[in-house]
Structure 1
Amino acid sequence: MINMYNSGLSIVRYLAKSNIIVQGRYASQALPQLSSEKYDVKRKNFGTVQAADINYFKSILSEQRVVTDESDVLPFNIDWIKNCRGQSKVVLKPKTTEEVSKILAYCNEKRLAVCPQGGNTGLVGGSVPVFDEIVLSFMLMNKIISLDEISGALVCEAGCILENVDNYVRNHNLIMPLDLGAKGTCHVGGNVSTNAGGLRLLRYGNLHGSLLGIEAVKADGTVIDCLRSLKKDNTGYHLKHLFVGSEGTLGIVTKLAIHCPVLPKAVTLGFFGVENFDNVLKLYRSAKASLGEILSAFEMADREAITSTSKNLKLPNPLSEYPFYVLLETHGSDEEHDADKLNRFLNKEMDSGLILDGTVTSEPAKMQTIWNLRESIAGAGLLDGYIFKYDVSIPIVKYYDLVPLLRQRLGSKATRVYGYGHIGDGNIHINVTVPEYNKEVSSLLEPFIFEEVSKLQGSVSAEHGIGFRKPQYIHYSKDRSALGLMRDLKTLMDPNGILNPYKVLPDDV
């Protein structure tokens, strides 16, 4: 039966909040294999950093913001799921767009490759070097510049942490339209650069629609100022969208303007047990029809996903075990009105049998505890050993088909195979865990999973980008004409190829 969730569950944050924690972890664990060796990549013809280059960087940044100590550089070389590892010798920490411009102009002249890095929470190796690229960290470009409380237009620097910005605008009765499990670490510039989707795309739409303006720096140091905060600006090409999803390969985002919706006055969260995936889809259709404009999130996770999280991270699950779980959230302006709509929906679907059991709450701490169970799935798999993570979009009727197919294909070779994600936008996350990296399992997964996604008319990347791990598979989602245009844009905007090399585009385009 449905009950109001009253147990005093503790709130647990799994994701690390800083590179200090990450660095400590690397000191006590084996380092991942170098990406260049693991994936057999050859270094391109870039320059190498010399003492004179370091001296120049210190002259414009100060000595403290040019990091060369090997142990201090290490965390910037490794992605958070410990899949990719680069060989950078230097990390630069600019504070202003002008400093970024000077750095890129110099690097372009010297043909020194650059890897821009935000919170380093990506899953495809896009934010870490492959060889000795200079890491350009945006952790110090974290200022909120302005907020128009009437229009909701926020202007901030690219290095702002998503959760910090959200907390800031909430104090002005607004919210960020984007919400991610990694919000305590990820940077808004990285969100734009990877075209992040997140948990509430169903309610607030794609990032393209929320982004009002952008400032970015080209490879030659030219600053592109499209930093307008107008909701409508139809003057020519939408240049700001060139940088959305380009992962720092066309230019580096330094500032952005984003539209922040009004803070909802009424928020309710439901967590339900469901018998099978067909019933998950039926429940989604019913939720759209019954809840309409207040439906903000509709998340699905299978039993293995929730079980691994609750067991690996010792997080309490308020429900018994069920084959599937649904997390449903509403955002509205009238608590009584929204509660009435939600109660009618719940009563109907309890009677129909689509909801087997569940819990509902409007208390912030309890909602966060339930959300934490869902948001921690990505990190929980790391405790099984090594994790293969796939972020794909599939037509909703075929949304879950790949998970049982992979379980059958891998058999006992995998510790776990599970799926979870955003039903509302067709984005499923598929995780495969093994005790340690295994080439046999890797060969069984790739390119098989991308071939199957292509057969289903899906996308090989839903919200984390292409990065380093997927350029050779991008053709499963983009034909040669589209890839050719992408290559033309790359050649035009970065003719020396110094911006985030080895990422996004395959070499044979």
Structure 2
Amino acid sequence: MRFQGLLQLRRLATAATLRQRHSSHIRTLTDTGTHTHGHTVVRTLASSASPLPELTQITDHVQRGNYATLNDKDVSHFEQLLGKNHVLTEDLDGYNVCFLKRIRGNSKLVLKPGSTEELAAVLKHCNERKLAVVPQGGNTGLVGGSVPICDEIVISLQRMNKVLSVDEVTGIAIVEAGCILENFSLRAQEVGLTVPLDLGAKASCHIGGNVSTNAGGLRVVRYGNLHGSVLGVEAVLANGQVLDLMSNFKKDNTGYHMKNLFIGSEGTLGIITKLSMLCPHESKAVNLAFIGLNSFDDVLKTFVSAKRNLGEILSSCELIDERALNVALEQFKFLNAPISGYPFYMLIETSGSNGAHDEEKLNQFISLGMERDEIRDGTVTGEPGKVQEIWKIREMVPLGLIEKSFCFKYDISLPLRDFYSIVDVMRDRCGDLANVVCGYGHLGDSNLHLNVNCDQLTDEIHKRVEPFVYEYTSKLKGSISAEHGIGFLKKDYLHYSKNPVAIDWMRDMKKMFDPNGILNPYKMLA
């Protein structure tokens, strides 16, 4: 195999030998390749062609909590607080149904506060009246954490969408919770900074929702998770109190780090309204390799080699198996994979400040993998447009799996040596009941996205999949949720990752922050 064209491997002393040895496997990206410009993917409800699901309160036999019932006086009060235009009582399906169309609530009211003060007044009234609420951002979650289960009031953060400041010197950005991640990223780029979080849903997800679920994304291997990047938060508690935990320092050792309680708490302890985030300077040189491999053993060897030989410039390491890639290519004809015919594919990205240095290191890494027959085929590019084209393939994989059928989606952390084993096990276990069982995800931080695609949800396949997938994960000492949270769909399985003592303390914390239990009920804690 030879990687030539976009990155010139002839700079390597061994390049001529490699070109002769692997001349039958050349793959490059050219100007005539498929482009995604003009192909806008609208992220509304997944599987939009399918009908709405039944009410979850009925299908899952949910006992409604001891909450008050919304009345006309409440609606009038909210209209006085927010204005009639920001109090919605009609056409609420988009707020009541989760992205995967597995969860459907029956909320009769959506509120859209425009400031921390308005949200505080709303929650104060709800707490006094004991009206349950559910905070909602872009509604792109996969565990039913941002939609009602019964008739909770939806509090949408859509209007609180400002980037308040971005400081080029300190690298600190202050942003409201309802800001769309992509808009935040574009604002940071204007001053040469980058948001240390990148998701396939960036065009619609909210940064507040990302923080509330401790989203990981594509570059945790480079920047770490949000507990390190988020310097502080502002949150409104159930009783309407505003808790100001904002900070402009990475080192702020003044008592308990309470901001960490809200990162990953999924709106059950309070609603994040604002946050400060440390944004690193944008890399001057970004290169991306898309490579094909014959076995998962070769994947692990290549990952170890990437860490050892790319070191400080390694910014992302993703895995896609053949079945996942093929589904995306079949569903979205505008995608064009640069190589095909391999059981596994890896996307390896480097980011640095010296283009020539980075190219040399990447070329050496690739040449070493080819010499060992671990890397079988691939393409490399440093051109921004083509980098985006390749990343688009990875981003469209999860959408392809839910485009025209039902899909169980699991977001789990597993030991690297056993990272892919659960896919093979689930494929055998589901047999003909599943159309596709596949895996992809963030190899760099051990986060696998396991998918079981079938024509429709039935009791038979449901029993094959759950709780087995959580039992298997627990047996390997993994985590049942790597980055999407617990929400409603995983609340009964939390004990597979947390022991009883930890869960009891979580309950106690919930009671302390929200004694009436009005914040996002029926979620996280069974």
Residue 15 (structure 1) shift: 4.5
Paired position in structure 1 for 2:302: 283
CA offset digits 1:340-383 (Å, max 9, x no partner): 10111111111111111001111111111110111111111112
Paired position in structure 1 for 2:53: 32
Residue 14 (structure 1) shift: 6.3
**TM-score, normalised on structure 1?**
0.96
Partners in 1 of 2:128 and 2:254 — Cα distance? 33
CA offset digits 1:29-75 (Å, max 9, x no partner): 41112212232211111111101100000001000000001x2x110
* Contact 2:33/2:336 (<8 A) preserved: no
Kindly report which structure 2 residues correspond to 1:488-503, keeping only aligned pairs within 5 A, or say none.
488-503=508-523
* Contact 1:384/1:433 (<8 A) preserved: no
| 3-state SS in 1 of match to 2:403 | helix
Kindly report which structure 2 residues correspond to 1:79-228, keeping only aligned pairs within 5 A, or say none.
79-228=98-247
Asked if residue 366 in structure 1 is aligned to residue 417 in structure 2, the reply is no
Paired position in structure 2 for 1:301: 320
**Match among 221, 231, 234 for residue 253 of structure 2:** 234
Asked if residue 10 in structure 1 is aligned to residue 1 in structure 2, the reply is no
Paired position in structure 2 for 1:48: 69
Amino acid at match of 1:135: V
Partners in 1 of 2:98 and 2:295 — Cα distance? 35
| 3-state SS in 1 of match to 2:309 | helix
Amino acid at match of 1:254: T
Bigger Rg, structure 1 or 2: 2
* Contact 1:9/1:366 (<8 A) preserved: no
Partners in 2 of 1:35 and 1:279 — Cα distance? 43
Paired position in structure 2 for 1:66: 87
Kindly report which structure 2 residues correspond to 1:405-444, keeping only aligned pairs within 5 A, or say none.
405-444=425-464
Mark the CA change 1:451 to 1:29 in structure 2 (over 3 Å): closer, same or farther: closer
CA offset digits 1:299-343 (Å, max 9, x no partner): 001000000000111221111221000000000000000001011
| Stretch of structure 1 that moved more, 1-10 or 87-96 | 1-10
Paired position in structure 1 for 2:272: 253
Partners in 2 of 1:491 and 1:373 — Cα distance? 44
CA offset digits 1:259-318 (Å, max 9, x no partner): 000100000000000001010000000000100000000000100000000011122111
Partners in 2 of 1:383 and 1:423 — Cα distance? 25
* Contact 1:15/1:182 (<8 A) preserved: no
How many pairs align? 499
Amino acid at match of 2:68: G
Unaligned runs of 5+ in 1: none
| 3-state SS in 2 of match to 1:376 | helix
* Contact 1:16/1:185 (<8 A) preserved: no
Partners in 1 of 2:53 and 2:339 — Cα distance? 37
Partners in 1 of 2:176 and 2:271 — Cα distance? 12
**Match among 317, 325, 330 for residue 345 of structure 2:** 325
Matched-pair identity in % = 50
| 3-state SS in 2 of match to 1:104 | helix
Amino acid at match of 2:81: I
| 3-state SS in 2 of match to 1:297 | strand
Amino acid at match of 1:85: R
Amino acid at match of 2:142: L
Partners in 2 of 1:36 and 1:368 — Cα distance? 41
| 3-state SS in 1 of match to 2:299 | helix
* Contact 1:471/1:504 (<8 A) preserved: yes
Partners in 2 of 1:437 and 1:103 — Cα distance? 38
* Contact 1:126/1:468 (<8 A) preserved: yes
* Contact 2:137/2:157 (<8 A) preserved: yes
Amino acid at match of 2:353: S
Partners in 2 of 1:365 and 1:147 — Cα distance? 26
| Stretch of structure 1 that moved more, 314-323 or 270-279 | 314-323
* Contact 1:145/1:156 (<8 A) preserved: yes
CA offset digits 1:233-282 (Å, max 9, x no partner): 00000010010100000000000000000100000000000001010000
Partners in 2 of 1:198 and 1:313 — Cα distance? 22
| 3-state SS in 1 of match to 2:240 | coil
Partners in 2 of 1:78 and 1:467 — Cα distance? 14
Residue 462 (structure 1) shift: 0.3
Residue 419 (structure 1) shift: 0.3
Partners in 1 of 2:327 and 2:341 — Cα distance? 12
Partners in 2 of 1:379 and 1:86 — Cα distance? 23
* Contact 2:181/2:206 (<8 A) preserved: yes
Paired position in structure 1 for 2:22: none
CA offset digits 1:95-125 (Å, max 9, x no partner): 1000100000000011100000000010000
Paired position in structure 1 for 2:15: none
Paired position in structure 2 for 1:399: 419
Asked if residue 344 in structure 1 is aligned to residue 370 in structure 2, the reply is no
Partners in 1 of 2:343 and 2:50 — Cα distance? 34
